[in-house]
Structure 1
């Protein structure tokens, strides 16, 4: 049996729609695999009752098929589905690493990205790499048609998850089909600023670079209490706040000394809006980790 822990992720980061992503230190999925004549899947943990165990309908089953690696697969969900924290990507990334090792396929982490992304297509309808790339590689990733660029980073963040859900498909439906040139120019500038901030481990630059006037405003309307939570986080010391992936999770970048205050402020603001939530005080961190023989 092989075990892989794959982290939650946050995609887009405001200015990097369908391109940027980061691995989060917590939460995470844990996937265990054993060779078997055919693939079977069992699921426990957060939101497991909503996830199909049929391999034909599960991201992990798609990964097993792509790698020609049938296995008995057990998934312990730490990343709740429909959270905006890359739930399906964490499972797909973990399975890709585990099955690649189980069957000695010899593929690199970068080569596993498109395979895990195919699993994501079952959820979003398209094979996007902005979540699976950071879950596999760790740090900050830039996923384009030309491949993935990865930067090790250690930025403190707070990921606040309300007890509501937003469908990935619904969140994509509100994405504008066109944008004003001035908004595009501003977003490109913010994306460049964010990228430099990641290379410098600079929370101030990263936060400044998260601003986006194209996609994010449309998605915030799907999250009850978003504006109040954003303002509360900024007042508590966050350098930037945005929707995590498709939502409803909200990501705040901050300095380490401000994490506790930011997390508390976000929870309190959601509570004032009548929404229960929990906050993860974590950092941009490592990608999927493989354990052999319990090590």
Structure 2
């Protein structure tokens, strides 16, 4: 038996739609694998009753098939499904690393990214690396044209998860198919600013770069209380606030000294609109790790 821990992630970060992602220090999924004649899946933990155990409908089943590595796979969910925190990606990343080791396939973490992304296609309809890349590799990642660039950044973050659900498929449907040139130019500038901020581990630059007027407004409309939560986070000291992945989680960058206040303000703002929420006081963390 092999056990792997893979972290939650936040993708897009506002200006980096389908490109940017960060690994979060917490929460995380833990996946255990044992060789078997055919793949079987067992799921426990947060939201496990909503996750299919049929290998054809689960991200880890697709990963096992891609690696030709049948196994009994047990997923202990620490990342809630439909949270915007890369729940399916965490399971896929953990399974990819575990099965690669179990069957001695000899692939690097970088080479496992497209395999884990195939697992993501089971949930989102098409493979995307913006969540699986940071979950496997850690840090801040840029997934573009099949290439992955990783930056070992240190930025305090708050991920606030409300007790509502937004499916990845629904969140993709509301993304505009066209954009004004002025908005595109602004987004490129913001993305460049965010990247420099990550390279310098500068929360102010990262926060400035998280602004986006193309994708985020469309997805924010699916999240009850988004505007109030965003304002409360800024008032408490956040340097940047945006939708995490497909939502409904909201991610905020901040300085360490303000992280607790930002977390409390975001939870309280959701409460004010009648939505229960919890906040993870976290930071950019490591990627998937073999535990034994």
TM range (shorter): over 0.9
- CA separation in 2, counterparts of 1:273 and 1:250? 15
Q: CA-atom RMSD, angstroms? A: 0.5
TM-superposed deviation, 1:49: 0.3
Matched with 1:30 is 30
- Is residue 105 of structure 1 aligned with residue 96 of structure 2? no
- The alignment partner of 2:75 has SS state of strand
Deviations 1:249-271 (A, max 9, x none): 00000000100000000000000
Matched with 1:183 is 183
- The alignment partner of 2:291 has SS state of strand
- CA separation in 1, counterparts of 2:260 and 2:241? 15
Deviations 1:132-185 (A, max 9, x none): 000000000000123111111111000000000001111000000100000000
TM-superposed deviation, 1:291: 1.7
Matched with 1:130 is 130
Deviations 1:60-102 (A, max 9, x none): 0000000000111000000000000000000000000000000
Matched with 2:209 is 209
TM-score by length of structure 2 reads: 1.00
Matched with 2:96 is 96
Deviations 1:11-45 (A, max 9, x none): 00000000000000010000000111111000000
- CA separation in 2, counterparts of 1:154 and 1:282? 11
4+ runs deviating over 4 angstroms: none
Matched with 2:160 is 160
Structure-to-structure mapping, 1:1-295, within 5 angstroms: 1-292=1-292
- The alignment partner of 1:121 has SS state of helix
Number of matched residues?
A: 292
Structure 2, unmatched stretches of 5+, are none
Structure 1, unmatched stretches of 5+, are none
- CA separation in 1, counterparts of 2:146 and 2:139? 19
- CA separation in 2, counterparts of 1:80 and 1:117? 19
- CA separation in 1, counterparts of 2:213 and 2:88? 27
- CA separation in 2, counterparts of 1:202 and 1:3? 34
Deviations 1:229-250 (A, max 9, x none): 0000000000000000000000
- CA separation in 1, counterparts of 2:42 and 2:291? 19
- The alignment partner of 2:234 has SS state of helix
- CA separation in 1, counterparts of 2:90 and 2:216? 23
- CA separation in 1, counterparts of 2:261 and 2:38? 49
- CA separation in 2, counterparts of 1:154 and 1:99? 30
TM-score by length of structure 1 reads: 0.99
- CA separation in 2, counterparts of 1:286 and 1:34? 24
Deviations 1:196-223 (A, max 9, x none): 0001110000000000000000110000
- CA separation in 2, counterparts of 1:78 and 1:141? 22
